[in-house]
Structure 1
Amino acid sequence: MNGIAWAIVICEILFWVFIVSGLVARYIGKKETLGLVLFAMTPLVDLALLALTGYDMYRGSTATMAHGIAAIYIGVSIAYGKSMIRWADDQFCFYILKTKKKPAKKTGMAFAKHDFVNWLRHLLAFIIGAGLLFLLTNLIGNAERTEAFGQLIRVWSLVVGLDLLITLSYFIWPRPNRRTA
């Protein structure tokens, strides 16, 4: 695994360390401000990854899938960050603090609409990530060194398109309510 791949792993770990630490500070330590500061650290992790990737490319590295995945990571983190924190907060309150009921699973049109909002987040992540890849490609100015970025954008475009088809299918064939007795 190259340095950028390790940086992605470390940044993902740091992301969740800051989230869990923020939840612990907020709910167990009763330190609301400290919790917010820890949550606010998550975008700094993304900026550090972006800086490392840009610096590695600036030094002359040939783009790898890891460089491209760093852009995907940043796009996903920005597009899904707030909802991931909200999800983690809900899970923490349900499983650890036992202060919330487990959220009911969405079905039918409610699920379809929820999934469409998530697809919009996926599209935003794609726009941000592909935009970063496009920017890096143009800044580097060497098609041979950035070939992996174009391949990654093509694959990700396909994934976003397939995700849209799956999302639209929920409007045609709504997810049934499967209650277990």
Structure 2
Amino acid sequence: MFVAAFIAASEIGLWVLLGLGLALRYLLRRRRASTVVLALIPLLDVALVAATAIDLHRGAEAGTTHGLAAIYLGFSVAFGPALVRWADVRFAHRFAGGPAPVKAPKHGPERMAVLWREWFRVVTAAAIASAVLFGLILLVADSDQDPVLLGWVARAWVVVGFWFLFGPLWELPTSRRTPQAGETADRASSRSSS
């Protein structure tokens, strides 16, 4: 329960710090303060790992929350900068007259590039989660806790496999073909899949 509460607090803290940082930057024009607040976001991840390690060290039975803490950390580190950029563009557009966000491509090589970048972030997230889990196994966990934590390493890489299957690999047949003159990307996509 302790780690589950910490995961929830980390997620809430992420959005609070992100909102505060962007509000400082664009509404109050306090760029330096904004940078400091946004730089605090990774500290939430450090606190989460520390809480997980303390809980395991105290003899808690390793479970779903400990595995999810490592997975959450991996995804937070791998996707965090992209999330901040995504929010920054939208906040700047809405409140500071910035340019409109560019829509993600739906087809073609540009779409494949987006899917590959996203998948590599997932690989990074799984690698970070695995490193954290192995670190917990080597430094904190006892022999009863080890198998549960190892199971979460496997789960992280199963997610990588499914993300590849339903991401880049799924899109591959439609990305090889570009729309011909006068043909919409949706029609080109349906024609290439038939």
Q: Report SS of the residue matched to 1:135.
A: helix
Question: Take 1:141 and 1:92, find their aligned partners in 2: how far apart are those partners?
Answer: 42
Match of 1:63, as an amino acid? A
Match of 1:108 in 2: 108
- CA distance 1:140–1:99, change in 2 (3 Å): closer
Q: Report SS of the residue matched to 1:173.
A: helix
- Provide the aligned length of Structure 1 versus Structure 2: 178
Range that drifts further, 107-116 or 151-160 = 151-160
Does 1:170 find its partner at 2:174?
Answer: no
Cα distance, 1:81 vs. partner? 1.3
Question: Take 2:38 and 2:65, find their aligned partners in 1: how far apart are those partners?
Answer: 25
Range that drifts further, 27-36 or 96-105 = 96-105
Pick the structure with greater CA Rg: 2
Kept in 2, the 8 Å contact 1:62–1:146? The answer is no
Query: Any gaps of 5 or more consecutive residues in structure 1?
Result: none
Match of 2:153, as an amino acid? I
Q: Which has the higher contact order (CA 8 A, sep 6+)?
A: 1
Question: Take 1:146 and 1:61, find their aligned partners in 2: how far apart are those partners?
Answer: 12
Report percent identity of matched pairs.
30
Does 1:87 find its partner at 2:78?
Answer: no
Question: Take 2:137 and 2:101, find their aligned partners in 1: how far apart are those partners?
Answer: 45
Kept in 2, the 8 Å contact 1:25–1:35? The answer is yes
Instruction: Compute the RMSD of aligned alpha carbons.
Output: 2.0
Question: Take 2:186 and 2:30, find their aligned partners in 1: how far apart are those partners?
Answer: 40
Cα distance, 1:77 vs. partner? 1.3
Question: Take 1:97 and 1:146, find their aligned partners in 2: how far apart are those partners?
Answer: 50
CA shift digits 1:85-114 (9 cap, x unpaired): 000111212344453223223131101111
Match of 2:146 in 1: 146
Cα distance, 1:34 vs. partner? 0.5
CA shift digits 1:121-156 (9 cap, x unpaired): 110110010111112112245332233212222222
Cα distance, 1:120 vs. partner? 0.5
CA shift digits 1:63-86 (9 cap, x unpaired): 111111111111111111111100
Question: Take 1:141 and 1:31, find their aligned partners in 2: how far apart are those partners?
Answer: 44
Q: Report SS of the residue matched to 2:93.
A: helix
Does 1:123 find its partner at 2:107?
Answer: no
* TM-score, normalising length: structure 1: 0.90
